[in-house]
Copies of this chain bind each other. A is one copy, B any other.
Amino acid sequence: MTTTTTHDAVEPADGEAMYRWAQDLYPLHRSLTGPGVRATLDYLRGLLPGLGVHEVPSGTPAFDWTVPDEWTLRDAYVEDVAGQRVIDVRRHNLHVVGYSAPVDRWVSREELDAHLHSLPEMPDAIPYVTSYYERRWGFCVAHRDRVALTANRYRVVIDADLAPGVMNVGELVVPGHSAEEVLLSTNICHPSLANNEVSGLVMLAALARWSAGRSQPRYTHRFLFLPETIGAIWYLSRHADLLRERVVAGYVVTCVGDDRAFSFVPSRAGDTLADRVARNVLRHRATNVTHYSFLDRGSDERQFCGPGIDLPVCSVMRSRYATYPEYHTSLDDLSVISPRGLQGAFDALTACLRALDADAVYRTTVRCEPQLGRRGLYATLSDGRSALAPRPLLDLLAYADGTRDLVALADTVGMDVLDAADHLRLLGEHGLVTQTS
């Protein structure tokens, strides 16, 4: 019996390369819109030559929403009477509240304080704060630094434009033999946050490069780089019906860089092909997996799975957003993610994509068990004291009755979905199973 196991045959995703890309992308000052987003997409275009970039004008309606003005930040700081910058966005992108309106004046300590954000319970962390849809200005600081601001007056400067412009969305389609497709998305709006942003960017780039190298690409893969929420809503407002027709499975790719855990958030329906494949892969190929509910959702699956959209999209993550201590603070830096963490998520996600490409409904071609022995698939000398061997082939044959797709068949017999695909390929070569769909 010469079954090729696939456990060690995963295509080499270079966790080290992904980590280097992350180092390049981490410092860029992304937001919903603006030059940081474009710099990010420019960098990604270097990795993905075919990457297209949409420009959506401010004011464009999208379902219940409107694309906001573009935010261009040039500088942001608080200085004291001595001209010393006590808070300076050049030291950390998170120091300024995202989408802050321009300001330049002297304020009392009390007024300044009303515009400061910090986390008393995490005195060293700068929080991540935005105000996209209400004009405000503000600064974020480590609580330890905030309490040291004891002068009476400070000058607050936010040198920014908040004016009609564009929102950018990146998109890359890797065609397969089928027009049916798998949707993969990540966000491009978080400034200098490693696990909850940059890991997704480099993962989607790595997956797209891997996808383009598939030797027998079945499904078309659509990769979307979206400003969270408004980007997804705008994209769906244009393409929801097409996606509903074509998308067989999808994964929101975020928080895929640390090495502490795996996490799964199912689709709203909960048992789509995407969910079932992901659960099988995580069961057989991952450790320390936490299964969440769709009620624990937090990224663009909120839009992809919403009523009237209902795409089969779920999330395979490492440590889930809102659960790890560094989340949405300056502590979510490059030390949180690692080549090994990225590699683990890449392996799980490519296993899902490979399982989807291998999906089929199988039917055994013979009645009763076939004689595996004369085909070299079974030991001809029966001295085993086990009930049945070789279990995997016989179990697959027993349940390949034309009612189960690949992952359902693998789940029924308790196998890894890609192992099942390999075994079924072998059985197919011997004429013992056929694909019925």
A residues near B (Cβ < 8 Å) are 63-65, 97, 117, 127-134, 136, 229, 232-233, 236-237, 240, 268, 294-298, 302-303, 305-310, 320-322, 327-329, 363-364, 366-371, 373-374, 380-383, 385-388, 391, 394-395, 397-402, 413-414
Contact = CB atoms under 8 A, between A and B. Distances in A.
A368 B230 CA distance: 10
A327 B388 CA distance: 13
B371 A65 contact: yes
A374 B133 contact: yes
A380 B233 CA distance: 18
A401 B306 CA distance: 9
Given A63-B366, A309-B368, A321-B387, A130 B303 contact: no
Contacts of A388: 297-298, 302
A401 B294 CA distance: 15
Given A322-B387, A386-B322, A398-B268, A369 B302 contact: yes
A296 B388 CA distance: 8
Given A128-B383, A237-B368, A303-B369, 9 more contacts: A131-B380, A229-B369, A232-B368, A236-B367, A295-B391, A298-B387, A303-B368, A306-B364, A307-B402
Contacts of A328: 385
Contact of A64 (B268, B371, B394, B401): B371
B303 A64 contact: no
A306 to B, nearest CB: 5
A133 B371 contact: yes
Contacts of A321: 387
A268 B400 CA distance: 12
A294 B386 CA distance: 15
Contacts of A308: 364, 366-368, 401
Nearest 4 interchain pairs by C-beta: A298-B387, A322-B387, A134-B380, A308-B367
Nearest to A301: B398
A206 to B, nearest CB: 25
A322 B395 CA distance: 17
A3 B328 CA distance: 28
Given A302-B388, A322-B386, A387-B297, A63 B233 contact: no
B63 A302 contact: no
A114 to B, nearest CB: 12
A100 B402 CA distance: 40
A43 B302 CA distance: 58
Contacts of A320: 387
A268 B309 contact: no
Given A117-B383, A322-B387, A306 B398 contact: yes
Contacts of A364: 306-308
A308 to B, nearest CB: 4
A329 to B, nearest CB: 8
Given A294-B398, A322-B387, A367 B309 contact: yes
A381 B414 contact: no
Nearest to A403: B307
A367 B322 CA distance: 25
20 contacts: A63-B368, A63-B370, A65-B371, A129-B381, A131-B381, A134-B373, A134-B381, A229-B369, A240-B367, A268-B399, A295-B395, A295-B414, A296-B387, A297-B387, A307-B364, A308-B364, A308-B401, A309-B367, A322-B385, A329-B385
A133 B310 CA distance: 55
A189 B216 CA distance: 48
A295 to B, nearest CB: 6
Contacts of A295: 391, 395, 413-414
Contacts of A127: 383, 385
A178 B232 CA distance: 44
A302 B64 contact: no
Contacts of A370: 63-64
A256 B298 CA distance: 43
B134 A307 contact: no
